[in-house]
Amino acid sequence: SSIYGETRFGLKNEELSIEDFGAVAGDDEKWRENINALLQGMQKASEQKRVLVVPAGKSYSMMGMRLDGIEDVVFRIDGTLKGVPDFDNWPMQAGSNRSYLAMIEIHNSRNVTFTSSSRGMGLLNGQGYTWWWSNILQVSLKLRPELLHWQNCSQLLIENIKLKDSPRFNLNLHDVSDVIVRYVDIETDLDAQRKLHKMVNGRTQSLKDLLALEGSLPELAEIESTIDWRKWVEKALVDLNIPTFPLNTDGIDLKGRNIHIHDCSIVNYDDIIVPKPCDNKCMQTDCTENILIENIEARGVGMSIGSVPPSVHHYCVNNVTFRNVSLESPLKGIYIKTDPGDEGSATISNITFENFRINRPLWWAIWIGPQQQHQPGWNWTEHQECALDWPLGKKSKSHCMTNKNVAIEDIVLKDVVIDSPLLSPGVILCNQTRFDNATAPSCSRLTFQNVTVTGLSTNLPFGRQYFCQNVEHSHSTKSDPSPSCFN
């Protein structure tokens, strides 16, 4: 059972099909008809409290669409909704010439269910390959479409559907409350992403050995201090662009309160599930809080918080629990990240990571500190962000700025196993002072309980220990290794 109430209302027995409103399956040229059918069908289902169905065994092409003010409706996707990658015809956000509409975008709505008759039967396919090309080659500076976007919505149930190859974010819960997401599968074609990067960089190396590390760790452990290994890591993670930040295919982004996400599978190589702060435009809450995320299997950048910048409105992320999580070859495992900014303040507080298995992390298993970022076309000297290759890259060796204006406090890691990490187990990098206390560091009351590292590792670059700086009132029990800057 969920910790939050599910969407409930009286439905009439008769179901509506999108074909009742003119939808045509199997023809990319019919995307306009299919968008109109979806818009009309959802409005009618909302008015009459009925179920709208995408029929099983059929595929319907579409582009971006937006719905406003629907309520008391169930949308059952038993077939496929497929995005047509057409830069010229895909609708833009209202009043914008830079941002595309999400494939399905819903605003100002309540009591809505997105479901399928069985897990994975209903598919939203964003066909992101062409969009990724445009990003890597910087053909278009427009913001690629998301797959499923909710804004200023409440009492939502999203279940049993599969989201595949989103051009950008997969599921964006932006300013929401009282939400359940369960039995959702998110998949990004990593092979296609890797081929794009490899083709663009003119390289022929296979990344399979890096992503499956069988047989390589013993050899790497023997040469842990060699300069050749350092160069190889830098090339693999920066020059080769292992699929990560540049494509921004986040799994589930969320801003809001009272959200339960459980029993989901995510493969995306960007942020897996990431609570972010709500800004002053949010209607449902002024702080992202009361979040439970559990029973997750994933392969991506990490179970993340943020990034969180300071704000004159004081941004906050509070009371978030991640538990029962299995991560296979993630780029990061547990990831709390701040963002640059000189004005205002922010707080990340009461965050728990419990019962984690982080298997063969490819970069940092644990990172608490400034966001590491590397976007196509960036010159790192022009940005305050912490370089993605820090501290291995020569140019960015000392370029990882902390921020006094974002406080991180009351963080608990409990029963975490890090197996065969590629590098040292993690980084805890905080500022010497904080916005409300010039004599205290920006991180306080961090607890590691039974956090252990097992298996072989290169132990680069800090040995088999954490890089730990500017933390107070923190402690570690039954953990191996223990952060050196804890009490």
User: For 340-392, what is each residue's pLDDT tens digit?
Assistant: 999 999 999 999 999 999 999 989 999 999 998 766 555 555 666 788 778 87
Query: What band does 105 get if pLDDT is binned at 50, 70 and 90?
Result: very high
Residue 137 confidence (pLDDT): 66
- Does the pLDDT value for residue 198 go beyond 80? no
Q: Shortest CA distance to 419 belongs to which of 482, 365, 340, 481? A: 365
Q: How far apart are the first and last CA of the chain?
A: 39
Amino acid identity of residue 61, one-letter, is: S
- The whole-number average pLDDT for the span 334-341 is 96
Instruction: Quote the CA–CA distance of 184 and 213 in Å, as a whole number.
Output: 28
Evaluate the CA torsion angle 215, 335, 260, 419 in order and state its sign: positive
- The whole-number average pLDDT for the span 125-136 is 85
How many CB atoms lie under 10 A from the CB of residue 14?
Answer: 8
Output the DSSP codes for 118-147: STTTEEEE--THHHHHHHHTT---SBPPPS
Block residue for tokens 């663009």: 200
Q: Residue 89 gets which letter from DSSP?
A: T
Residue 229 confidence (pLDDT): 45
Instruction: Quote the CA–CA distance of 206 and 199 in Å, as a whole number.
Output: 12
Q: Shortest CA distance to 100 belongs to which of 162, 150, 144? A: 144
Weakest mean pLDDT among 30-44, 385-399, 409-423: 385-399
Q: Shortest CA distance to 162 belongs to which of 75, 241, 79? A: 79
Query: What band does 416 get if pLDDT is binned at 50, 70 and 90?
Result: very high
Is residue 443 within 8 A of residue 430, CB to CB? The reply is yes
Question: 168 — phi, psi (to 5°)?
Answer: -140, -130
- Does the pLDDT value for residue 199 go beyond 90? no
Output the DSSP codes for 344-399: SBEEEEEEEEEEEEEES-SSEEEEEEEPEE--TT--GGG--SEETTTTTSSTTTT-
Cis before residue 246, ω within 30 degrees of 0? no
pLDDT, greater one: 200 or 296:
296
Q: Residue 102 gets which letter from DSSP?
A: P
Dihedral Cα 127, 31, 76, 43, nearest 10 deg? 140
Residue 269 confidence (pLDDT): 79
pLDDT, greater one: 391 or 336:
336
- Does the pLDDT value for residue 443 go beyond 50? yes
Instruction: Quote the CA–CA distance of 415 and 30 in Å, as a whole number.
Output: 52
- The whole-number average pLDDT for the span 391-411 is 82
Query: What band does 171 get if pLDDT is binned at 50, 70 and 90?
Result: very high
- Does the pLDDT value for residue 13 go beyond 50? yes
Weakest mean pLDDT among 33-37, 109-113, 140-144, 230-234: 230-234
Block residue for tokens 């045509």: 24
Residue 166 confidence (pLDDT): 96
Buried b (16+ CB within 10 A) or exposed e, 232-247: ebbebbbebbbbbbbb
Q: At what angle do helices 129-136 and 190-200 cross, to 10 degrees?
A: 30
Q: Is residue 371 classed exposed, middle or buried when 0-12, 13-18 and 19+ CB atoms within 10 A define those classes? A: buried
Weakest mean pLDDT among 62-76, 132-146, 253-267: 132-146
Residue 221 confidence (pLDDT): 40
Instruction: Quote the CA–CA distance of 399 and 308 in Å, as a whole number.
Output: 19
Q: Shortest CA distance to 210 belongs to which of 225, 226, 190, 227? A: 190
Query: What band does 193 get if pLDDT is binned at 50, 70 and 90?
Result: low
Q: What would the pLDDT profile of 250-262 be if each residue is shown by its tens digit?
A: 999 999 999 999 9
- Does the pLDDT value for residue 38 go beyond 90? yes
Q: Residue 44 gets which letter from DSSP?
A: H
pLDDT, greater one: 397 or 124:
124
Instruction: Quote the CA–CA distance of 441 and 338 in Å, as a whole number.
Output: 14
Residue 1 confidence (pLDDT): 42
Question: 476 — phi, psi (to 5°)?
Answer: -135, 135
Predicted structure pTM score: 0.90
Summary mean pLDDT of the chain:
87
Q: Where are the beta strands (DSSP E) in 22-91?
A: 51-54, 59-62, 66-68, 71-77, 80-83
Query: What band does 197 get if pLDDT is binned at 50, 70 and 90?
Result: low
Q: What is the percentage of the chain residues whose pLDDT exceeds 70?
A: 81
- Does the pLDDT value for residue 208 go beyond 70? no
Is residue 165 within 8 A of residue 188, CB to CB? The reply is yes
Q: What is the percentage of the chain residues whose pLDDT exceeds 90?
A: 71
Q: What would the pLDDT profile of 215-254 be if each residue is shown by its tens digit?
A: 333 343 443 433 344 454 545 444 444 444 447 899 999 9
Strand 467-469 relative to strand 51-54: parallel, antiparallel, unpaired?
A: unpaired
pLDDT, greater one: 141 or 257:
257
- The whole-number average pLDDT for the span 63-91 is 97
Instruction: Enumerate residues 6+ apart whose C-beta is below 8 A from 195.
Output: none
Query: What band does 487 get if pLDDT is binned at 50, 70 and 90?
Result: confident
Instruction: Enumerate residues 6+ apart whose C-beta is below 8 A from 232.
Output: none
Residue 239 confidence (pLDDT): 44
Instruction: Quote the CA–CA distance of 375 and 354 in Å, as a whole number.
Output: 31
Q: Shortest CA distance to 66 belongs to which of 88, 37, 93? A: 93
Q: Shortest CA distance to 272 belongs to which of 320, 349, 333, 318? A: 333
Residue 458 confidence (pLDDT): 86
Instruction: Quote the CA–CA distance of 483 and 468 in Å, as a whole number.
Output: 6
- The whole-number average pLDDT for the span 392-415 is 84
Residue 20 confidence (pLDDT): 98
Residue 70 confidence (pLDDT): 98
Q: What is the CA radius of gyration of the chain?
A: 23
